[in-house]
Structure 1
């Protein structure tokens, strides 16, 4: 029989947390009360949380997101969620309990995706297509929105143009090659030999082994380069651009130096940070629903394996996405 003092005790949820920046061993699993949605918010029972490079960089205290949370520790990481709505706050009339949703939430300072339950603004969430299971859906928002916004908002990729996508088999890359192909572009991607067949199955026109081939010697006159590697690799790719071409670089730590190098060569380059956009996410969901885009989940981890997951994430060379199974 429940003790009288426990009658009003809040239900608890498990979530990942870190109390200080550091290596993957700072990640711990804790318990906290399940939060209640406020006005304009919904409470989501999280099935999966996508893991992204920004997660390990922030955990190590690197980058702009770390600056925003350094005075808010302990903190629960993660921005990608997919799950089921269990409660809605006031002024929410677009979603209802039972809806299957995914979204880029809590960006940048709130986070909170690595948890059994997460709060999100209703306008951050899109309905998950029936064709996509919720475990895979957690890998979509950050990576797919990054690819979409880089190609179509910043680079303004059009049908018939030639695009090079560096690290085409990765999380952002495997979405980018599919979006570019669906738009009617000629797609070239760099990858390791082990990912050649994977990219060929997606329909990539040319795959370049970055271990053995210099893209600057293999490609020229390109309209768009999507640089998902940064550093010297990003700078080298500038040599593949046509005079009117544009390079979009995603890693923030080297973006300024790549943009400066482009300016010195009389070329255009832009850094970019993803932003939540439910309309873009709905367009992406439609492509998945129609079978034009598929989501590749390389591996899923339960919450107790989060340290190993981050170690793999930080090592790079993951095909597609890693997700945290939060059920």
Structure 2
């Protein structure tokens, strides 16, 4: 099979397509013939060596996959089943490959209403949004929710998920129209701290000073959930001193949440926005697009 690997840290050109043996699924695992691979902003940072999540090269990046079960060492799936998921994160899943061996519990059946490209775009961002809003945030009908970065991968799913929960959704974005937010604040022209107040929950997907500035828009006892500043001790102390809740989220494989997302898709309450697709061989170009920032949805590789 072909894989995309790297033998050193560096820019997009360190990513190379090479031949490798097919993986062998262990008991409780399946071998997936991959049709599409979702890419995430974390991956260029790992490629460049910003932090050693996978240890030193060589390694194979990638977690979001959608494809067809080739062989199954489990009763949960049979050969021919179409599946998708985010196996093994944060351990290496070797997702940039034509075949991936994955735990059956980290995958769910792909609904017919989702293409493989759309399905591959959903797991990391969908699970981050679900675990942030549902599991950690406990969002309920009538809550006021502020989603930062509403045009991006996590943000555009979070808007739709929060709306499905009955929340009043505000987002900061250059382009989040058509996703159901009640209020869209163009961050290029407006300071959100001057126009937003009494928010029950803020979902931060941007980092920088966004989380700290969000303190002023929360109601007393409000809750910040961040996917990018979860270990900022100074920020945590600031929120706690103000009587606010602070939660950091590191996404985990979760088939229950994935099935919840599938149910929203099938009810027409969630659609996945794909900005651009690239063939497997153009992985370097795909990474350049991600590093360019200002994404409107997800970037996906087709295999």
Q: TM-score range by the shorter chain?
A: over 0.9
Measure, in 2, the Cα distance between the counterparts of 1:236 and 1:298.
29
Which of residues 201, 210, 218 in structure 1 aligns to 2:187?
Answer: 210
Asked if 1:261 corresponds to 2:243, the answer is no
Which of residues 79, 104, 107 in structure 2 aligns to 1:97?
Answer: 79
Where do residues 1-327 of structure 1 align in structure 2 (5 Å cutoff)?
Answer: 13-63=1-51, 66-67=52-53, 69-71=54-56, 73-89=57-73, 92-192=74-174, 195=175, 199-252=176-229, 255-326=232-303
Deviation, structure 1 residue 24: 1.5
Q: Indicate if the aligned counterparts of 1:255 and 1:270 stay in contact, CA closer than 8 A.
A: no
Aligned partner of residue 231 in structure 1, secondary structure: coil
Which structure: greater helix fraction? Answer: 1
Deviation, structure 1 residue 303: 1.6
Q: Indicate if the aligned counterparts of 1:255 and 1:271 stay in contact, CA closer than 8 A.
A: no
Cα distance, 1:140–1:255 mapped onto 2, change above 3 Å: farther
Deviation, structure 1 residue 127: 0.5
Q: Which runs of 5+ in 1 are unaligned?
A: 1-12
Measure, in 2, the Cα distance between the counterparts of 1:141 and 1:317.
20
Aligned partner of residue 112 in structure 1, secondary structure: coil
TM-score, normalised with respect to structure 1: 0.89
Number of positions where the alignment pairs a residue of Structure 1 with one of Structure 2: 303
Measure, in 2, the Cα distance between the counterparts of 1:181 and 1:211.
24
Measure, in 1, the Cα distance between the counterparts of 2:15 and 2:235.
33
Describe the superposition over 1:121-167 as per-residue Cα deviations: whole angstroms up to 9, x where unpaired.
01111001111111211001110000000001111111100000000
Aligned partner of residue 94 in structure 1, secondary structure: coil
Measure, in 2, the Cα distance between the counterparts of 1:88 and 1:255.
42
Deviation, structure 1 residue 259: 2.1
Deviation, structure 1 residue 252: 4.2
**CA RMSD for the aligned pairs?**
1.4
Cα distance, 1:61–1:312 mapped onto 2, change above 3 Å: same
Measure, in 1, the Cα distance between the counterparts of 2:242 and 2:8.
42
Q: Indicate if the aligned counterparts of 2:275 and 2:298 stay in contact, CA closer than 8 A.
A: yes
Deviation, structure 1 residue 253: 7.4
Deviation, structure 1 residue 254: 6.7
TM-score, normalised with respect to structure 2: 0.96
Cα distance, 1:255–1:293 mapped onto 2, change above 3 Å: farther
Q: Which runs of 5+ in 2 are unaligned?
A: none
Cα distance, 1:204–1:107 mapped onto 2, change above 3 Å: same
Measure, in 1, the Cα distance between the counterparts of 2:181 and 2:106.
31
Describe the superposition over 1:250-274 as per-residue Cα deviations: whole angstroms up to 9, x where unpaired.
1147744432332343322221100
Q: Indicate if the aligned counterparts of 1:129 and 1:286 stay in contact, CA closer than 8 A.
A: no
Aligned partner of residue 200 in structure 1, secondary structure: coil
Measure, in 2, the Cα distance between the counterparts of 1:47 and 1:214.
42
